[in-house]
Structure 1
Amino acid sequence: MSLDDDLENLATAAVSDWPEIVFSGRLDAAIRDLYRTHLRFPPSWTPDERDEFIEERADTEAQRLATRFDDAIDVMIDDFGRQNGYLPHHEYASTMITEARKDAVYELEARIEYLADDLAQTVTHTAGRTVASMTGCSPAARRSHRNGPRRIR
């Protein structure tokens, strides 16, 4: 399945099952599945490293989406009221809120593309290196070796 199809399915499920999808953990699980399906991880990463990467970002993204979904009601109705001088009709407000929530889910595409680029750079910059090979290459390590031990005169 393509990323667009997966996002469309997630958007439909998230909007129709709101807020139960958050409380049940299905939103987190769906985002984790998106990451597992559409991101290429460095071959040197262990399954635990992949899972840790996915968990951290999926939890953050699920919280961001939940906040956007909650805020969509106030933001859409307030914006409409400011622009038009009256509050929208119930059906129109419902449609606007649904579209705003779907848009929030579709923003995941840009985040997934950003993570894919970030992972590709990780592969490029760590090609042929083991995890332990970078221990002495940090700026702090270079400074400590450069200064060396000081002698008291």
Structure 2
Amino acid sequence: MVVSLEDDVKKLADAAVADWPDIQFSGDFDRAIRDLYRSHLQFPPSWPQEDCDEYIAENADMAATRLITTLDDVIDTVVDGYERQHGIRPHHDDASEMIKAKRRSAIHELEWDIEDLAAELAGWSIHSLGRAVASMTGCSPASRRHRRRRTR
């Protein structure tokens, strides 16, 4: 069964909203984001596994840090925005629902990040087809001899 990126992001959003901030402190949130990246990104065949792991770690850690900051700031953002707009603080139940919706929305932006990275990786795959990392096939002695014969 193939699970879509949208479904996986929804599951992460449901888990994070239900268990925030405990999911952050346990490290499960960071791991879940790395798992999303690992399962939904296809790397160029020429990339060694350690390069793939490094790419995932770097991008997933940046996304996790950004999301954690956003999810922590949501309470102030939602309550202050409501208070500025209506002149009173929201009822506790209303504030709770607005905060959950805003957190869910922030996590769903992760879907766009992964889609952008997937497109970037697809471009790298296209440009590296048949060529190893640091390939010098165009500069080989045989290639130079072949070019000399054509130009004479």
Fold conserved (TM > 0.5)?
yes
Residue 133 of structure 2: aligned partner? 131
Give the Cα–Cα distance (whole angstroms) in 2 for the partners of residues 9 and 108 of structure 1. 12
1:12 to 11, 14, 38: 14
Any gaps of 5 or more consecutive residues in structure 1? 135-153
Identity of aligned residues (%): 55
- Residue-pair matches, total: 135
The offset of 1:118, in angstroms, is: 0.5
1:46 to 48, 51, 59: 48
Other structure's SS at 1:130 match = coil
The offset of 1:100, in angstroms, is: 0.5
The offset of 1:132, in angstroms, is: 1.9
Residue 81 of structure 2: aligned partner? 79
Moved over 3 A (4+): none
Q: Give 1:54-93 correspondences, 5 Å limit.
A: 54-93=56-95
Q: One-letter code of the match for 2:42?
A: R
Q: Give 1:90-109 correspondences, 5 Å limit.
A: 90-109=92-111
Give the Cα–Cα distance (whole angstroms) in 2 for the partners of residues 73 and 132 of structure 1. 49
* 2:123 is the counterpart of 1:121: yes
Give the Cα–Cα distance (whole angstroms) in 1 for the partners of residues 47 and 33 of structure 2. 20
Q: Deviation string for 1:25-65 (max 9, x for gaps)?
A: 11111011111111111111111111100001111111111
Q: CA contact under 8 A between 2:46 and 2:128: conserved in structure 1?
A: no
Give the Cα–Cα distance (whole angstroms) in 2 for the partners of residues 10 and 114 of structure 1. 19
Of stretches 89-98 and 119-128 in structure 1, the one that deviates more from structure 2 is 119-128
Give the Cα–Cα distance (whole angstroms) in 2 for the partners of residues 5 and 128 of structure 1. 34
Q: One-letter code of the match for 1:101?
A: R
Q: One-letter code of the match for 1:33?
A: D
Give RMSD over aligned pairs. Answer: 1.4
With structure 2 as the length reference, what TM-score do the two structures score?
Answer: 0.85
